[in-house]
A and B are shown apart, each in its own frame.
Chain A
Amino acid sequence: QSALTQPPSASGSPGQSVTISCTGTSSDVGGYNYVSWYQQHPGKAPKLMIYEVSKRPSGVPDRFSGSKSGNTASLTVSGLQAEDEADYYCSSYAGSNNSPYVFGTGTKVTVL
């Protein structure tokens, strides 16, 4: 099972928006509405930010939004804040034929 493809980096100024893509295949991202996004600050555990493509867990700011089109999912962070600087990983359910959970390659978001 190959990792989902994300751009290595993305950046934006405070207050701006940044969008991160996550490209998979019809066997994972395109086949299921079970894409999640995780935020990871250096030396910390990942934190769930988005589940089921576009839903936010309790406590996650509505500045974070998710979407999906075909085999590509996207995470948008609006109104960038300094604390949003982190690594972001997507994940998708991939069924039971192989590893059911596949992660993305990760994107470093820098707040300029």
Chain B
Amino acid sequence: QVQLQESGPGLVKPSQTLSLTCTVSGGSISSGGYYWSWIRQHPGKGLEWIGYIYYSGSTYYNPSLKSRVTISVDTSKNQFSLKLSSVTAADTAVYYCARLGYCSGGSCYSFDYWGQGTLVTVSS
């Protein structure tokens, strides 16, 4: 059973960089076949896809966040990470890491495993 676990600071100051790591267990990122994503949920609101990374390091970001987002992977640790720069209060949200699966034709279409989520608050 694949499990994902987010970790990182719960409080970030405005204008600084939010950094989170997702540790994957029960499956290897480097085995390929899946994309590894970050998704966020503003308090009491819906879900927003941030971006994904493949084990090879190729990435795809939400255009609305692209200028501030970097997702990286460390296959030796079976982890992938999110950096979001120049944060404001609007970036306060629960951040989830998730596996993007159910793939065909080189793309994947459903988030089949999720971490428990971690609340990141942007405040001075």
Contacts and interface: CB of A to CB of B under 8 A. Distances in A.
Q: How large is the interface on A (under 10, 10 to 19, 20 to 34, 35 or more residues)?
A: 20 to 34
Given A93-B107, A98-B63, A99-B63, A3 B46 contact: yes
B109 A51 contact: yes
A100 interface: yes
A111 interface: no
Interface in A28-55: 34, 36, 38, 44-48, 51-52
Contacts of B64: 1, 99
B49 to A, nearest CB: 4
Contacts, number: 58
Nearest to B97: A45
Interface in B104-119: 107, 109-112, 114-117
A30 to B, nearest CB: 15
A51 B110 contact: yes
B47 interface: yes
Contacts of A34: 109-110
A104 interface: yes
Given A34-B109, A36-B109, A48-B111, A103 B47 contact: yes
Nearest to A4: B46
A100 B45 CA distance: 20
Contacts of A1: 63-64
Given A52-B102, A98-B63, A100-B60, A46 B110 contact: no
B114 A46 contact: yes
8 contacts: A34-B109, A51-B102, A52-B109, A52-B110, A91-B110, A99-B62, A100-B49, A104-B46
Given A1-B63, A46-B114, A89-B46, 14 more contacts: A1-B64, A36-B110, A36-B111, A38-B111, A45-B115, A47-B114, A98-B63, A100-B107, A101-B49, A103-B46, A103-B47, A103-B48, A103-B49, A106-B47
